[in-house]
Each structure stands twice: as structure tokens, then as C-alpha cells.
Amino acid sequence: MWCPFCNHTDTRVVDSRLTSDGFQIRRRRECAECGARFNTYETPALKAPNLIKSDGSREAFSEDKLRGGMLKALEKRPVETQEVERSIRKLVRQIRTLEEPEISSQQIGDWVAGELARLDQVAYVRFASVYRRFEDVQAFREEIERLEREHPGTIDRRQISLLEERADKDD
């Protein structure tokens, strides 16, 4: 492997160990020329299935697009980076271990929505508004009410309620 500091092509592995999640091998390397040390990460090269888009076109799965969509929904939300990365790794593993050559983008969208609902309700509603193409405020309200019905025990105390409690609910 070449050195990122001096571009010399002779580096040696000083140390190898599994990352804490067990999905990568971290290799500590040292350049024979300049003595600089750096890390590399090794992961299995698994081929992901192609995506079938809603218009019928096909494209290669992109982990970067998945990550970008989740990060956009989670922007400025109080969710730890570790949790986000754990969810992304879970989704990528789920997609790459499929034995089918193709998968619908809708299926992946459903999986992403599920992970976002688990991580942060506001991020989930942001994602769902684009993914499900909400047309009006009523569609938002219905989705929020469904979310609160289906995930009543997962309300995050760091965020305010999505809908104010109604007095007529207690009657």
C-alpha cells in the first residue's frame, strides 16, 4: 500500500485488530521511507443487489446515497453519530446479504423509514414526507398520529411532542 504522506509504495503492517463493531479490520501501517504511520480499514467486498426504481429503471445500490438520505433527515437532531452509523451498517448488511440480484427502492425506503422511526420521530417524519410524497398538512398529521399510535413507548424525552395533547382524548 502506498503512503498517503510521501507516496512511497512500501508500507508495512504494524498492528491488525477488529474494530469494536467487528465488521472491519483496522490495520496500523508504517511507511518504510518517511516513517509516517496511518490506519487502513478492511471490509468484505460484497456485491449489493441493483435497485429497481419506481419508474422501472435500474441502478446500482449506493451506500453514499443511503447515508446522505439518512443524514439529511437527521440534520440538527439530537442523535449520536454512533447510533446513525450503527443503523447505516445494519441497513447495508441487510441489503448486501440479500440473495436476490435486484430489490425495489421502495423496500429499501421502508427499511430506512423503520430505522429513522427508531432513532428519531422528527427525522422519520421528514423522511416520510419526501418518501411518501405528502401532498398537504393533513397527510403530515395522519402520519404523526400513526407514528404515535405504533411507537407509544419510544417517545424520546429530548424532543417535544409532535402533536399537542388534546383535552378530548381524556374524556
Pick the most confident of 43-47, 79-83, 160-164.
79-83
Q: Same domain for 34 and 118?
A: no
pLDDT at res. 171: 47
Does 167 fall in a domain? no
Helix/strand/coil percentages in the chain, nearest 5? 45, 20, 40
Q: Domains in the chain: how many in total?
A: 2
Angstrom CA distances, 21 to 24, 109, 156, stand at 8, 25, 25
**Pair 118, 92 in one domain:** yes
Domain that holds residue 75: 50-154
CA atoms within 13 A on the CB side of 48: 21
Question: Which amino acid type is present at position 7?
Answer: N
Higher pLDDT, residue 150 or 41? 41
Q: Does residue 61 lie within any of the structural domains?
A: yes
Q: Report d(CA 125, CA 157) in Å as an integer.
A: 17
- In this prediction, residue 164 carries a pLDDT of 58
Q: Encode pLDDT of 97-111 as tens digits.
A: 888 899 999 999 999
The model's confidence at residue 115, banded by pLDDT at 50, 70 and 90, is very high
In a domain, 101, yes or no: yes
169 pLDDT above the threshold of 70: no
Average pLDDT of the segment spanning 61-77: 93
Name the residue with higher pLDDT: 11 or 170: 11
Tell me, yes or no, whether 27 and 82 share the same domain.
no
Q: Is residue 170 part of a domain?
A: no
Please report the beta strands in 64-165, taking only residues with DSSP state E, as ranges in sequence order.
102-104
